[in-house]
């Protein structure tokens, strides 16, 4: 079966150039970057090169980039590490948006159990956090504010620069999870004015198991992992050299084609969106269509459970998601759509389409062609619940 992959916000395939470079490292550059000898120096040089490439992706200095095991670890170091560093100052309050990834939400929950007060910022149906909402939530003892750059489920881009400014006015640090924007849209840490920024390689055609956290120079963040002095003692443990090198190549490639690929994906996404809205009755786009990453659309299908639609599409060879698969693979109502004020029903009948490098117009047209029949069939077999 010819399969169409429209789930690039979950993960992306490796670029051939990434594989080639990683293979070379796996085969020949096995050295430990901390070693003094030739082998260590060779590995260290590869690491430095990757650090520069990743720093360039976000307009940062290489020395400010810390490699991690992925976006989740980057978020954890940023929030826990900064919060713990500020504990002595008496700060005991954390803020995040209600539509953050679980990596942020559950980190706040864990800190709440240890005595931190936490506030989740509501978002309207646009899916965008307003600066006033943040201003009202900030207190003098707010340590860290964490708001994602682009949302993973609906793709909306948050007004990070304004939010960061508001946080700084009250003396709070600002972290942004840029896992869904890095590699997709231009990012400049100085323009955004943030203190910390998380990235994940596998969202932009790099390998899984590697990510990065940018920490503004001079900012004190306590490590989660203690041990050797790797990553300037902020993340102990021998570096995942092949993964990091892969992330570097992916970052370089993303920079090179970002503008052109962004335009191409936005056109494809708009074609898909328009085709679905036109071809399937009872559909609507979730969240703002103004400020979105170019590859993402999230559409609700009235009177169809997303769970069924996802399975039916997969059986047709079309891979999509609802954006919030739990560990068992089963689907629960999206916390993002619920936070946006949609009822549980709409939160349960929405599908995320996230496009990527290999997608073509022909693929998009095939999806537009098969969807109406699938939706109609599912609707015809949906019974009203026996009891509400």
Residue 385 interacting with another protein (CB under 8 A): yes
The residue whose two tokens read 């909402």 is 133
Binding mask 194-233 for another protein (x = CB under 8 A): ----------------------------------------
Minimum distance, C-beta of residue 224 to another protein, in the bound complex (Å): 20
Residue 378 makes contact with another protein by CB under 8 A: yes
Q: Is 326 in the site for another protein (CB under 8 A)?
A: yes
- 381 binds another protein, rule: CB under 8 A: yes
Q: Does 377 bind another protein (CB under 8 A)?
A: yes
Q: Is 326 an active-site residue?
A: yes
- Given a contact cutoff of 8 angstroms between Cβ atoms, the answer to whether 237 and 67 are in contact is no
> Which one of 1, 36, 326, 388 is the catalytic residue?
326
Which of residues 218, 330, 362, 384 is near another protein by CB under 8 A? 330
Binding mask 94-133 for another protein (x = CB under 8 A): --------x---x---------------------------
Binding mask 34-53 for another protein (x = CB under 8 A): --------------------
* Window 258 to 317, contacts with another protein (CB under 8 A): 307-308, 311-312, 314-315
What are the residue numbers of the active site?
326
Residues that bind another protein (CB under 8 A): 102, 106, 307-308, 311-312, 314-315, 326-332, 377-378, 381-383, 385-387
């Amino acid at each position: 079966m010819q399969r169409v992959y429209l789930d690039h916000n979950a993960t992306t395939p490796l670029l051939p150039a990434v594989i080639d470079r990683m293979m070379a490292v796996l085969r020949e550059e096995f050295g430990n970057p901390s070693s003094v000898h030739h082998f260590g120096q060779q590995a260290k040089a590869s690491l430095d090169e990757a650090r520069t490439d990743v720093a360039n992706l976000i307009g940062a200095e290489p020395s400010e980039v810390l490699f991690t095991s992925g976006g989740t670890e980057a978020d954890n170091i940023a929030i826990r590490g900064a919060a713990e560093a500020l504990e002595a100052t008496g700060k005991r309050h954390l803020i995040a948006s209600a539509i953050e990834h679980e990596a942020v939400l559950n980190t706040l929950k864990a800190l709440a159990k240890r005595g931190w007060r936490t506030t989740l910022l509501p978002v309207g149906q646009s899916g965008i956090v307003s600066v006033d909402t943040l201003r009202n939530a900030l207190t003098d003892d707010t340590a860290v504010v964490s708001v994602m750059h682009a949302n993973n489920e609906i793709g909306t881009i948050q007004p990070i620069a304004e939010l960061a400014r508001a946080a700084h006015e009250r003396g709070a640090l600002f972290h942004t999870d840029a896992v869904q924007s890095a590699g997709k849209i231009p990012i400049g840490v100085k323009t955004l004015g943030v203190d910390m920024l998380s990235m994940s390689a596998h969202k932009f055609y790099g390998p899984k198991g590697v990510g990065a956290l940018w920490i503004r120079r001079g900012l004190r963040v306590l490590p989660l992992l203690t041990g050797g002095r790797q990553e300037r003692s902020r993340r102990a443990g021998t570096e995942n050299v092949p993964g990091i090198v892969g992330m570097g190549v992916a970052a370089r490639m993303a920079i090179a084609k970002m503008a052109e690929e962004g335009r191409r994906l936005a056109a494809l996404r708009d074609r898909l969106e328009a085709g679905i809205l036109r071809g399937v009755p009872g559909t609507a786009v979730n969240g703002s269509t103004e400020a979105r990453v170019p590859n993402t659309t999230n559409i609700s299908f009235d009177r169809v459970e997303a769970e069924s639609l996802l399975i039916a599409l997969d059986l047709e060879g079309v891979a999509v998601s609802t954006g919030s698969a739990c560990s068992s693979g089963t689907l629960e109502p999206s916390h993002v759509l619920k936070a946006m004020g949609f009822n549980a029903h709409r939160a349960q009948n929405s599908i995320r389409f996230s496009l990527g490098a290999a997608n073509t117009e022909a693929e998009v047209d095939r999806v537009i062609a098969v969807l109406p029949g699938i939706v109609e069939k599912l609707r015809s077999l949906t019974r009203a619940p026996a009891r509400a």
